[in-house]
Each structure stands twice: as structure tokens, then as C-alpha cells.
């Protein structure tokens, strides 16, 4: 007999969604067990015996967990497939893990740097949900200069669309040859947040690179290359 788990755990184990997001998939009627639509959250399934499908496609729990770090180059989308057929970050991985792994959050097409990938939905939730306050640090290169007032506005929070950003850590690293380089740490993950924050203070980001997530650093991993996270890094990020 296989292990018996709750349906939402089974879905999270397949890497398709975090346990929370899996609950929504179930209640919205997108999940079937042995062909029968299930909307009850308490439902239990047996791994290896019950057949579970999401939107009509069979899903299987991956028992082995993968946690990797990629130094994403610009010109790649942070998803497993792209409607415009652009290269995806998955294309940069080795054949044997490609089918099993998903980006943890996203970096823009034109952003480079530290991107985590995993098949552990709960890990993704811990790293990406703003309530866990996981700091993300970026190096932003902006065109021209920035005023002290602009830096302080970024520090205290700026309005992007109808949202006020949380206080950020901001440090100017250099200002020469018509560009300014700024280190900025935020813990939220709104779409294009760093670029929009700079726009809100009248600056245009021309290069953006993520260098760390919490205490986990990109270090000297070459552009376009990946490595497995250490067990220390995994424990720290999923604490």
C-alpha cells in the first residue's frame, strides 16, 4: 500500500502548486481523483494507487525534491513554456531535471541574476509570499543620477499604481559616466516592482540583477549556469 496523503499535499508534491494554491485548484473544481471531480479539501488519496488529474492531465507526486539556483541571463522567460516561443530558464538546465522543476517566483525577461527553481510547492510559497518577509537584493543600474530625496523616497516607500511599497534598504554604490548603480533590498514581489519603484522617483533602470534572496547569495556562479542548493541553504529558506 502506498502512502496516504491529503489531496492538496499530493498536488504540492507534484510541484504544480503550493499547498494553499492547491486548495484553490480543488475548490474551483479543476481536480479529479479516479475520474471523479473532487471539491472537498479533506479528501485523502493513496500515492501510486489513486489517479489524480489537474485540468484533465494526470499528475504524479515527485518523491525526490530538487532545489537549484540559476544565474539567469537576460533574454529568458521565468516559466516552463512561453506563448511567444522565447527561450525559457528551463532551457538552461540539464536534460534530466528539466521536466521536474519550476521557477520560484520570477525575474523579468530583461532581468538577470539569482533565480531559484524547485519542485517543492511549499518551498516556493515560503520564499515568495510577502508575509514571510524574505529579502531580495538587486543591483540596479539607472540612467543619469538620483537625488538624495529620491533615495529617501525609495527607502520609505513609493506609490506604484495603487500600491505603496514597504520600506526598502537602499545604498548608492557608484555614480559615474552618466549612470548610477544602486543596491536595493525589498521583500515584496509585485510585477516589475524595482523598475516601477525607480520610475516613481523619475529614474529609468537600464540593467537589473538579483544578487541574493535572504542570506542565499548568487556569489560567483557564472551567467547561465546553475547549481544545487546546499542543505544549509534549503533549511534556511524553508524555515
One residue of 9, 16, 195, 209 binding ligand URA per CB under 6 A: 195
Confirm whether 94 is a catalytic residue.
no
Grid cell, residue 217, equals 547569495
Q: Could you tell me which residues come within 8 angstroms of residue 73 by beta carbon, excluding any fewer than 6 positions away?
A: 92, 112, 223, 224
Quote the least distance from Cβ 76 to ligand URA, whole Å: 11
User: Which residue among the candidates 82, 108, 110, 122 is catalytic per the annotation?
Assistant: 108
For ligand URA, the closer of residues 25 and 157 by Cβ is: 157
17: left (phi over 0), alpha (psi -120 to 50) or beta: beta
# of chain residues touching ligand URA (CB under 6 A): 8
φ, ψ of residue 4 in degrees (nearest 5): -100, 125
Answer for which of 194, 203, 213, 229 binds ligand URA (CB under 6 A) is 194
Q: How far is the CB of 193 from ligand URA (least distance, A)?
A: 4
Nearer to ligand URA, 19 or 106 (CB): 106
Q: What residues does 179 pair with on adjacent strands? A: 143, 176
Question: The C-alpha cell of 181 is what?
Answer: 548603480
Q: CB 3 → ligand URA: shortest distance, Å?
A: 37
Neighbour-count burial for 153-175, b at 16+ CB within 10 Å, e otherwise: bbeebbebeeeebeebebeeeee
Q: Could you tell me which of 209, 167, 162, 210 has the C-alpha nearest to residue 188?
A: 167
Q: Which of 19, 30, 126, 192 binds ligand URA (CB under 6 A)?
A: 192
Choose, by CB under 6 A, the member of 208, 213, 218, 237 that binds ligand URA.
Answer: 208
Q: Does 209 bind ligand URA (CB under 6 A)?
A: no
Each residue 80-119 as x (binds ligand URA by CB under 6 A) or -, in order, gives ---------------------------xx--x--------
CA 158 from chain centre, in angstroms, equals 23
Phi-psi region of 183 (alpha: psi -120 to 50; beta: other; left: phi over 0): beta
- The residues annotated with a catalytic role in the active site are 108
- Which positions lie near ligand URA, rule CB under 6 A? 107-108, 111, 192-195, 208
Amino acid at each position: 500500500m502506498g502512502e496516504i496523503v491529503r489531496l492538496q499535499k499530493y498536488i504540492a508534491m507534484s510541484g504544480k502548486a503550493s499547498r494553499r494554491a492547491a486548495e484553490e485548484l480543488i475548490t474551483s473544481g479543476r481536480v479529479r481523483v479516479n475520474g471523479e471531480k473532487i471539491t472537498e479539501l479533506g479528501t485523502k488519496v493513496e500515492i501510486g494507487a489513486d489517479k489524480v488529474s489537474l485540468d484533465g492531465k494526470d499528475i504524479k507526486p515527485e518523491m525526490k525534491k530538487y532545489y537549484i539556483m540559476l544565474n539567469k541571463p537576460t533574454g529568458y522567460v521565468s516559466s516552463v513554456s512561453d506563448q511567444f516561443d522565447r527561450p525559457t530558464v528551463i532551457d538552461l538546465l540539464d536534460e534530466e531535471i528539466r521536466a521536474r522543476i519550476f521557477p520560484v517566483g520570477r525575474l523579468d525577461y530583461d532581468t538577470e541574476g539569482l533565480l531559484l527553481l524547485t519542485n517543492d510547492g511549499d518551498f516556493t510559497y515560503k520564499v515568495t509570499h510577502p508575509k514571510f518577509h524574505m529579502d531580495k537584493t538587486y543591483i540596479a543600474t539607472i540612467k543619469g543620477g538620483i537625488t538624495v530625496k529620491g533615495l529617501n523616497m525609495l527607502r520609505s516607500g513609493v506609490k506604484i499604481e495603487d500600491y505603496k511599497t514597504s520600506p526598502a534598504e537602499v545604498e548608492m554604490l557608484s555614480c559615474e559616466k552618466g549612470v548610477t548603480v544602486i543596491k536595493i533590498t525589498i521583500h515584496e514581489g509585485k510585477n516589475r516592482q524595482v523598475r516601477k519603484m525607480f520610475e516613481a522617483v523619475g529614474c529609468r533602470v537600464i540593467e537589473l540583477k538579483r544578487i541574493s534572496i535572504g542570506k542565499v547569495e548568487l556569489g560567483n556562479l557564472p551567467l547561465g549556469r546553475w547549481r544545487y542548493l546546499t542543505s544549509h541553504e534549503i533549511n534556511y529558506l524553508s524555515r
